[in-house]
Amino acid sequence: MRNDSVAAGPVSPSALPVVVVPAYIKPPSPARNDPAWVRYTVISITYLVVGLLVAVPLAHVFHQAFSAGIGSYFQKLFGDKDTRHAIFLTLMVAPVSVAMNVIFGVLAAWLVSRFRFPGRALLVSLIDLPMSISPVVAGLVFMLVLGLQSPLGSWLRDHGWQIIFAPPGLVLATAFITFPLVARELIPLMEADGADEEMAALSLGANGWQMFWLVTVPNIRWGLLYGIIICNARAMGEFGAVHVVSGKISGQTDTLPLRVEKLFQEYDLPGAFAAASILTLLALLTLIAKAILERKVNQG
């Protein structure tokens, strides 16, 4: 029987085809036909508006806070026990609320992005509900549901639990207002990533927790961190809902925004601006963290 196979001998490198991969060239920016005076006018107006609405008020807050000197500034912040308690309470309420929203947000994003079920559109609408109603209305709802005049509030009081006019009420109100921030950041991200890697992990023998911590969390880590930063900034500055459920009890339920309002109403302007400068500084740090994170995400 004839054997037509030919033994393959060594091939000279010069005989191999040469594949030239063109280098990536960034497409040129589209030509601008706008007159120079139009561009400069728009840029000037933008800087003017941002300066008047953002930069000038920020500078005024710090100017008023330090107008009596650095010693007086720290005395107003840490010499007043009610202001110290307001700072402590804010630094307690915000992280607890953020932790709750991380848990609920991840669960909600997982449910919406991975499953199709009756009522899914309603669930998405309910997730957005806290952003659609006034924080004052949200606080009033908590008062009606958990207040001492309600059946649930009376039952909680009889069993030694006080929600309204106590730190737990502040946490619940803040968590409700900031609930959509984490979930809304994760839902489009998880829908875009899909479930292929997770299904592959399960098919290779990973259990649910291994799949979540080793596949899902690394894929959503930047979006989750971004949501945490925004959620924390919103939680520290929450005023409306907390104003209703706190009772504004000095040294007990006053958060930092409520303390600023109370000091201002008492005509203690140096103390009010000193407390406001803490919130302003936290907002600036949040903005810096957000910018760093966005650059990290854009760099891959």
Question: What is the residue range of 242's domain?
Answer: 70-299
Higher local confidence (pLDDT), 28 or 59: 59
Do 143 and 171 belong together in one domain?
yes
Percent above pLDDT 90 for the chain: 41
Is 18 contained in some domain?
Answer: no
Is 139 contained in some domain?
Answer: yes
Is 98 contained in some domain?
Answer: yes
Query: Is residue 297 over pLDDT 50?
Result: yes
Query: Is residue 6 over pLDDT 50?
Result: no
Query: Quick one: DSSP state of residue 26?
Result: P
Is 3 contained in some domain?
Answer: no
Of 43, 65, 87, the position where a domain reaches its end is 65
* pLDDT for the residue 136: 92
Amino acid of residue 127: I
For every residue of 54-73, DSSP letters joined together read IIHHHHHHHHHHTTT-HHHH
CA-to-CA distance for 69 and 169, rounded, in angstroms? 37
Which tens digits make up the pLDDT trace of 10-56? Answer: 555 555 555 555 554 556 655 567 788 888 899 999 999 999 998 99
Average pLDDT on 121-133 reads 89
Amino acid of residue 146: L
* pLDDT for the residue 36: 82
Do 32 and 159 belong together in one domain?
no
- Comparing CA positions, the residue from 143, 90, 81, 78 lying closest to residue 257 is 90
Do 111 and 135 belong together in one domain?
yes
CA-to-CA distance for 268 and 152, rounded, in angstroms? 39
Do 38 and 82 belong together in one domain?
no
Give the number of other CB atoms < 10 A from CB of residue 41.
11
pLDDT confidence tier of residue 5, bands split at 50, 70 and 90 = very low
* pLDDT for the residue 32: 64
pLDDT confidence tier of residue 1, bands split at 50, 70 and 90 = very low
* pLDDT for the residue 183: 92
Is 11 contained in some domain?
Answer: no
Query: Is residue 116 over pLDDT 60?
Result: yes
Q: What is the pTM of this model?
A: 0.79
Q: Domain tally for the chain?
A: 2
Phi-psi bin for 194: left (phi > 0), alpha (psi -120 to 50), beta?
A: left
* pLDDT for the residue 160: 85
Do 42 and 134 belong together in one domain?
no
CA-to-CA distance for 154 and 151, rounded, in angstroms? 5
Mean pLDDT of the chain: 86
Which tens digits make up the pLDDT trace of 131-184? Answer: 888 999 999 999 999 988 888 888 988 888 889 999 999 999 999 999 999 999
* pLDDT for the residue 17: 55
Do 42 and 124 belong together in one domain?
no
Of 35, 65, 95, the position where a domain reaches its end is 65
* pLDDT for the residue 80: 86
Of 14, 49, 65, the position where a domain reaches its end is 65
Do 258 and 171 belong together in one domain?
yes
Do 50 and 76 belong together in one domain?
no
Is 5 contained in some domain?
Answer: no
* pLDDT for the residue 31: 57
Is 160 contained in some domain?
Answer: yes
Do 182 and 56 belong together in one domain?
no
pLDDT confidence tier of residue 9, bands split at 50, 70 and 90 = low
* Per-residue tokens: 268: 């203690």
Do 185 and 285 belong together in one domain?
yes
Do 212 and 135 belong together in one domain?
yes
Ranges 92-96, 123-127, 171-175, 290-294: which has the least confidence? 290-294
Most confident of 40-44, 205-209, 280-284, 295-299: 40-44
Average pLDDT on 195-210 reads 88
Do 135 and 103 belong together in one domain?
yes
* pLDDT for the residue 30: 59
Is 155 contained in some domain?
Answer: yes
CATH, residue 75: 1.10.3720.10
